[in-house]
């Protein structure tokens, strides 16, 4: 029988910000103490850099490639690189990073871990923030790099900031009007949900709705005097792994980031 395993995904906003905010990010990580941690927006971090080392220390894992990896993203038009931070208390057996600029805005990483004698496939992603068409290409690309037969029978989790909306979330009936008032265009007008529908069609199950959630909002936003609550951060599971998921939770935080972490425990 596998021991319980805790997962967390967390967009830390621009690499964690200044030293004061980054210390707050470390406090969130230290308090949650996940067994597998997926970070997005590790802006311009380096594999041997101080922030990678600080996160590894906060988790109590060695600063070695078997436990701490940087999923390198392709540079954006600005030249900035929003890498993925990949940390695990279980040694990484394999790690594959995809960052083809023809298909991906940032990157996708696929980790393989041993969990109670079975292979746990952990996929970290940070989808494009600008456009649902681009995110849909990323979702299709993700589909292309996963063997569907293995997905159906295997243990897979997808975690990250997908920058996409789910039609299952309780958005207000006037969401389109609010988006117009706030001049928010990244979700389109009217708002679109194709990315999450594409992932669901492949077989991914939304962890937040495996059991009734206590919270669903991961990205509250105020723009143009308009407040809108969003969820863009997800933990999704293959059908076999979904059977072994406990409560998936959104972790409320203060000023550490503009995204709330999402965590789950596997049994």
Q: What is the mean pLDDT of residues 231-259?
A: 97
Q: What is the pLDDT of residue 1?
A: 66
Domains, the chain, in order of start with CATH, read: 5-266 (3.60.10.10)
Output the DSSP codes for 130-176. Answer: S-HHHHHHHHHHHHHTS-HHHHHHSEEEEEEE-----TTS---TTHH
CA 135, CA 10: separation in Å to the nearest integer?
A: 19
Mean pLDDT of the chain: 97
Q: Reply yes or no on whether the pLDDT at 77 is more than 90.
A: no
Model pTM score: 0.97
CA 158, CA 151: separation in Å to the nearest integer?
A: 12
Q: Give the Cα-Cα-Cα angle 215, 22, 226 (nearest 5 degrees).
A: 45
pLDDT digits (tens, 9 = 90+) for 125-170: 999 999 999 999 999 999 999 999 999 999 999 999 999 999 999 9
pLDDT digits (tens, 9 = 90+) for 228-238: 999 999 999 99
Rounded-to-10 torsion of CA 65, 68, 73, 79: -100
Q: What is the mean pLDDT of residues 52-57?
A: 98
CA 177, CA 227: separation in Å to the nearest integer?
A: 12
Only one residue has tokens 């707050």, namely 24
- What sign results for the dihedral spanned by CA atoms 176, 180, 181, 184? positive
Q: What is the pLDDT of residue 243?
A: 97
Q: Give the Cα-Cα-Cα angle 267, 12, 48 (nearest 5 degrees).
A: 90
pLDDT digits (tens, 9 = 90+) for 205-228: 999 999 888 999 999 999 999 999
Task: Say how many C-beta atoms besides its own lie within 10 A of residue 136's C-beta.
Answer: 18
Q: What is the pLDDT of residue 2?
A: 84
Closest alpha carbon to 129 in 200, 197, 177, 77: 77
């Amino acid at each position: 029988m596998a021991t319980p395993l805790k997962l967390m995904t967390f967009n830390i906003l621009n690499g964690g910000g200044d030293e004061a905010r980054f210390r707050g990010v470390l406090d969130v990580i230290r308090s949650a103490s996940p067994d597998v941690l997926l970070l997005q927006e590790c802006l311009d971090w380096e594999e041997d850099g101080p922030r990678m080392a600080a996160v590894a220390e906060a988790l109590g894992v060695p600063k070695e490639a078997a436990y701490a990896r940087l999923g390198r993203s392709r540079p954006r038009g600005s030249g900035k690189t929003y890498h993925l931070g990949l940390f695990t208390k279980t040694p990484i057996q394999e790690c594959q990073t995809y960052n083809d600029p023809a298909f991906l805005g940032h990157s996708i990483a696929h980790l393989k871990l041993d969990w109670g004698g079975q292979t746990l496939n952990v996929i970290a992603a940070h989808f494009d923030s600008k456009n649902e068409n681009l995110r849909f290409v990323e979702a299709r690309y993700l589909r292309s790099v996963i063997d569907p037969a293995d997905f159906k029978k295997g243990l897979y989790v997808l975690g990250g900031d997908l920058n996409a909306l789910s039609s299952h979330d309780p958005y207000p009936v006037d969401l389109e009007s609010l988006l117009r008032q706030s001049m928010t265009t990244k979700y389109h007008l009217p708002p679109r949900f194709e990315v999450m529908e594409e992932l669901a069609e492949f077989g991914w199950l939304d962890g937040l709705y495996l059991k009734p959630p206590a919270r669903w909002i991961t990205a509250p936003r105020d723009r143009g005097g308009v407040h809108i609550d969003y969820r863009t951060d997800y933990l999704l599971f293959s059908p076999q792994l979904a059977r072994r998921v406990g409560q998936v939770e959104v972790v409320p935080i203060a000023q550490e980031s503009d995204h709330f972490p999402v965590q789950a425990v596997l049994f």
